[in-house]
Amino acid sequence: MKKCFLVWVALGMVLVSMSGCSEIFGTKHLAVTNDVFKAGKKDPATATDAIGYAALIPFWEGFDHPTDVCIGFDELVYVTDAKGLHVLDRAGREYRTIPFEGATSVVEDRMLNIYVAARIDTVIKDVDPNVSWNLAAIFKIHNANGSNSGDIVYMDTLTQPFADASRSTFASQTSRLKKNDPQSEELVQFTGLTILGDNTLYVTRRGPVNPTNEVAAPDNIVLEFQPVMVNGQQTDKMRNVRQIRSLSPTVPSLISGIGMSNIISFVAPPQRESFTTDRSFIIAQADQSMNIPYRVLWINAVETTDGLVFQPNTSLLQQDTSKANGFLYELNKFKEPTGLAYAADGTNYIFVTDAGTDSLYIFQSNGYEGVTPPVGSDAKKPVIVSFGGIGNGPKNLDDPSGVAYFDKVVYVADKNNNRITRYKLTTDFE
């Protein structure tokens, strides 16, 4: 009798222990966990998806429609959502939240300054002291990571349209400050940010006014900002040094920029002594009002005798189906690309999130879709590991809006699921 009692006590302790562990490891009654268990039951010798991205559970939750995710040169994780900017470590522990209205994109430069594309409410007294305007803005802040044990420092604010050097007069800057107007400055957005090795900032902008024959740059454009130099030293302030007008704001082509949603350069963490000086970039075109055959475009920056020019990367049109089964430059490959990331670890993978297909796509730098087969694999072509489809399972997404990569882990801002999902190639597990 005593033995039976001890058995029942032990069994009860096990059950209590298991119920407590579910808070940490999840429960197999959850959809995410069910899918993980199902994948784990497959025989590796017969599974067709033995090479692919595995979900790193648990996902990070508690966000309010996240719009972007970035890994900084300080190796922290930065997430923008409806609340503002979240600063986390790579275990998902949050350090702080910094309020920003309408935050859409975030990036960190090599000096560990953070840039956030968001909105600002401002009164322009010389226009009307009684009217507040809601304008696109880029905030440059320091000490967001709290590394100096001090307060956040707001170093500069780049406000549309005043930060655009092509608007050289006050009249041109304020001509579209009109409420409830189809050309209102309030309809312009800053949508994507990326950094070059010399701390140049590229910004994608979109809006309703796009003439190509005026002094003022069209709304659909890439803007280049550089730190203001004083006595040969970079200051905290930024200035617009170029509007990249090579990209058509209205006509789809291999060098257009219509409704751009994001931009990446080929500079990314980890921090190191030197980076590429290449000023080329990749953009995503998310405009839904027209047919855009090639929505993700690689734009080459080429030094010529006439200076720096931007040209299409036509080499990506070479689609040899004997060498790959998918391509970055397939016709109508994407529906609404929203996020871009570049792997600066030597793999040179390019990641694209598409809100139109609720998917994450992975490409090589030659435009082939998929990852390099591991040593010993029978695969003769890159293995396609792109995945998605609407839902809240571990390999499902719902309106993904941003993507980042660091140390073999892919982070996705899964907007309508209010979470940051994380994935790692099965071949990268040790």
Does 182 or 11 have the greater pLDDT score?
182
Q: Of all residues in the chain, what percent carry a pLDDT higher than 90?
A: 82
3-state secondary structure 180-237: CCCCCHHHCEEEEEEECCCCCEEEEEECCCCCCCCCCCCCCEEEEEEEEEECCEEEEE
Q: How far is it, in rounded angstroms, from Cα 245 to Cα 204?
A: 12
- What is the pLDDT, as a whole number, of residue 349? 98
As a whole number, mean pLDDT of residues 80-105 equals: 97
Kindly list the structural domains of the chain, giving each domain's residue range(s) and its CATH number in brackets, ordered by start: 28-428 (2.120.10.30)
For residue 379 the two structure tokens come to: 């695969």
Taking the alpha carbons of 28, 32, 34, 39 in that order, is the dihedral positive or negative? Answer: negative
Residue with tokens 């879709």: 369
The per-residue pLDDT for range 11-65, each reduced to its tens digit, is: 344 333 444 444 333 443 444 445 444 444 444 333 334 899 999 999 999 999 9
Taking the alpha carbons of 254, 255, 256, 260 in that order, is the dihedral positive or negative? Answer: positive
Q: Binning pLDDT at 50, 70 and 90, where does residue 225 land?
A: very high
> Please, which contacts does 225-229 make with residues 24 or more away whose CB atoms are closer than 8 Å?
225/158, 225/163, 225/200, 225/201, 226/198, 226/199, 226/200, 226/201, 227/199
Q: How far is it, in rounded angstroms, from Cα 180 to Cα 286?
A: 24
The per-residue pLDDT for range 261-320, each reduced to its tens digit, is: 999 999 999 999 889 999 999 999 999 999 999 999 999 999 999 899 999 999 999 999
Q: Is the pLDDT of residue 419 over 50?
A: yes
Q: Is the pLDDT of residue 167 over 90?
A: yes
For residue 389 the two structure tokens come to: 């489809």
As a whole number, mean pLDDT of residues 196-217 equals: 97
Chain center to CA of 347: 18
- The mean pLDDT value of the chain amounts to 90
Q: Is the pLDDT of residue 96 over 60?
A: yes
Q: What is the chain's length? A: 430
Farthest-apart Cα atoms in the chain, separation: 95
- What is the pLDDT, as a whole number, of residue 24? 34
- What is the pLDDT, as a whole number, of residue 237? 96
The per-residue pLDDT for range 319-365, each reduced to its tens digit, is: 999 999 999 999 999 999 999 999 999 999 999 999 999 999 999 99
Q: Is the pLDDT of residue 379 over 90?
A: no
The per-residue pLDDT for range 143-152, each reduced to its tens digit, is: 998 876 678 9
Is the Cβ–Cβ distance between 26 and 57 less than 8 Å?
A: yes
Q: How far is it, in rounded angstroms, from Cα 201 to Cα 218?
A: 19
- What is the pLDDT, as a whole number, of residue 233? 87
- pTM (2 decimals)? 0.88
Q: Is 293 helix (H, G, I), strand (E, B) or coil?
A: coil
Does 222 or 15 have the greater pLDDT score?
222
Is the Cβ–Cβ distance between 118 and 98 less than 8 Å?
A: no
Q: Is the pLDDT of residue 9 over 80?
A: no
